[in-house]
Structure 1
């Protein structure tokens, strides 16, 4: 006898092609859940995107928001406007589909919507924390610094049926700043292995003899890409080049910094690119570098690991759960321009270390494959549904 499929409602203000790693990870989870469940997503709309779309079996509902200017970064108003628009759509969907469980991603800004629908319809709510939603050292209004928002986050954490953090760092930040009364489980972000495109450096306009560093992410202050650019300037090797993939509000400043440091022949801005092109560039690069002030987890690390790239990264954030200094990466302090330059040079000159870290990353990435991660969430969902 076939078991009835459960109905899952995902609430996330960002979902591909909008946003960063949190939206991508949500999509990767949904791709697995839809094999055995009915999955609906309420997310933000953007110009050119339909209000409803069936994406590989996932029912994606997009609601109109205000003043979002780019796919890469949300404004405060756009996040706030998601809540009333999402609430209206969630009401109609909850009445129609009788959801068994809600999975809310990002306590800010999605959290109030997940809580409201959970409370109104008596649907269990699994709240997933992504790191930057509770702790962002680059923002003055980060919830951990603001008394009002800190109270809101604490309220939402304590009202969730289950809390999931994607790293020990995110869990520790939640405990330190908000003191929730509930236990916080750790489930890492999910990753679907891509099909790497057949390409070459020649096709991408890259020099065969260069040592190519690449960074991927939204060009926002928290990513501290200026630290990486200054590190490239300290690396006195013309063959060491940098590709910056992504877009965002910091791009103009970063481009002016590149000009100021006379690095136009060594640093290239690729802008926003589709997944196929992203993996084309990753597969042809030598080293992945991310100098963020903080990462809740960093799905871009997994993408780099899959391509066999050694990594240079900061030692503050969820990445320390799976990046080990000298084993698959070199870790530096936040803001350490000199340390970043030295780490790049270490991989450039030490082929034994390079090969060791590359091989370890190819092995380690398999533990994050989506089917292994999604089942941990599904076990939570079925337990909740069966005990209702």
Structure 2
């Protein structure tokens, strides 16, 4: 199939975290022999060419002058909108995507739209008789719930797509709750739950990975965008509460909170290393070298939560003891087994859970088994096959 993929976020260059999982989504489809044509909003800065087989990226202008294109990249639209009123000019992108897509859709066999509200409407305008799959992440569902007419808009989204992909079960439940009683029962048959694909990482010996990163003490790892809802500040305060025990905190990721978090670590006297975005071998080394993984996402002020954290799935797949909060799709992982501690977002509870996680001993066999389970459920092939099956079965 040749698939048109509409998205409000897509990486502009190697290492860009904005929409990186959408690129992985596309790669999970090209790995199964499909071709993907991406329509994404033109960023403020000129993007680098993407060198990926069977993936074509069309950067769609939606505002002029280009210096006003501040809606979708960097920290993402919700955070950008709180920082700059110019971000709201991004409301023009769905219409711009439809205008561009009309010149290309004749060669498409199916349409996939990411961030169902509002991109499902653009997908419907372009799909015609073709299958149209729309993907719910999280932020768009919060926007629906907080809109002036949530039920009417949810009904419109429901009628805009052939099938629906939710990255976690709780998102499917929240969307179903917005639908009229006559429609809600039909959602289950037209939807499926599948997180964003988890890239396979080649195995590496723990001691080799620790040497590559220069680690010689117990290490707690966190990965993700450095924004308030990720609560890296809580991790640093919990690390400080561990007392004199020598623990290193490895913070992988970038975002608007980085400088403030680095200052906080210094003020607390925490041994923290902020290493920026890790990909490929560097991410593999961090997961292999760490003794525990901490993910403390909470509900943002405007009600936004995690959908399903890919980094959390990667940590579970590495066999790491995980300390996390009951946010987003965490409950979907209970079947996985392993050392998963769900805590209240308080310094005392997080510090206590980190102590227990650092005392856990994960054998090589257990780590390999966790990797196999994760790849079977969430890897590129599993994800690509699930999406492919839904597109083929769509009316």
| TM exceeding 0.5 | yes
Q: Find the counterpart in structure 2 of residue 162 from structure 1.
A: 163
Residue correspondence of structure 1 range 183-222 to structure 2 within 5 A: 183-184=187-188, 185-189=191-195, 190-195=197-202, 200-206=209-215, 208=216, 210-222=217-229
Task: Name structure 1 gaps, 5 residues minimum.
Answer: 1-5, 136-141
Q: Find the counterpart in structure 2 of residue 126 from structure 1.
A: 133
Q: Find the counterpart in structure 2 of residue 340 from structure 1.
A: 350
User: Contact conserved, 2:219 with 2:292, CA < 8 A, in 1?
Assistant: yes
What TM-score, normalized by structure 1, do the two folds share? 0.82
Matches of 1:269 and 1:296 in 2, distance apart? Answer: 25
Matches of 1:43 and 1:329 in 2, distance apart? Answer: 36
C-alpha distance 82-247 of structure 1, shift in aligned 2 (>3 A): farther
The yes-or-no answer on 1:254 pairing with 2:267 is: no
Match of 1:303 among 306, 314, 317: 314
User: Post-superposition shift, 1:331?
Assistant: 1.0
The yes-or-no answer on 1:240 pairing with 2:237 is: no
User: Post-superposition shift, 1:234?
Assistant: 1.2
Matches of 1:150 and 1:292 in 2, distance apart? Answer: 27
C-alpha distance 325-315 of structure 1, shift in aligned 2 (>3 A): farther
User: Post-superposition shift, 1:40?
Assistant: 1.2
| 3-state DSSP of counterpart to 2:306 | coil
Match of 2:23 among 27, 32, 47: 27
C-alpha distance 106-48 of structure 1, shift in aligned 2 (>3 A): same
The yes-or-no answer on 1:288 pairing with 2:289 is: no
User: Post-superposition shift, 1:132?
Assistant: 3.0
Q: Find the counterpart in structure 2 of residue 377 from structure 1.
A: 387
Matches of 2:230 and 2:57 in 1, distance apart? Answer: 29
Q: Find the counterpart in structure 2 of residue 14 from structure 1.
A: 9
Match of 2:36 among 26, 36, 39: 39
Match of 1:277 among 278, 282, 289: 282
Matches of 1:159 and 1:84 in 2, distance apart? Answer: 15
Q: Find the counterpart in structure 2 of residue 268 from structure 1.
A: 273
| 3-state DSSP of counterpart to 2:269 | coil
Q: Find the counterpart in structure 1 of residue 66 from structure 2.
A: none
Show CA shifts across 1:74-99 (max 9, x none). Answer: 4342743432432332121114x2x2
Q: CA RMSD in A?
A: 3.0
The yes-or-no answer on 1:87 pairing with 2:92 is: no
User: Contact conserved, 1:193 with 1:306, CA < 8 A, in 2?
Assistant: no
User: Post-superposition shift, 1:205?
Assistant: 3.0
Task: Name structure 2 gaps, 5 residues minimum.
Answer: 63-68, 82-86, 299-304
Q: Find the counterpart in structure 1 of residue 119 from structure 2.
A: 110
Q: Find the counterpart in structure 1 of residue 359 from structure 2.
A: 349
Show CA shifts across 1:312-369 (max 9, x none). Answer: 1112221211146974311113x232211111000222437x8897566334313222
C-alpha distance 337-361 of structure 1, shift in aligned 2 (>3 A): farther
Find runs of 4+ consecutive structure 1 residues off by over 6 angstroms: 18-22, 354-357
User: Contact conserved, 1:326 with 1:357, CA < 8 A, in 2?
Assistant: no
Q: Find the counterpart in structure 1 of residue 57 from structure 2.
A: 60
Give the stretch that moved more between structures: 231-240 or 254-263: 254-263
Give the stretch that moved more between structures: 13-22 or 56-65: 13-22
C-alpha distance 224-146 of structure 1, shift in aligned 2 (>3 A): farther
C-alpha distance 370-202 of structure 1, shift in aligned 2 (>3 A): closer
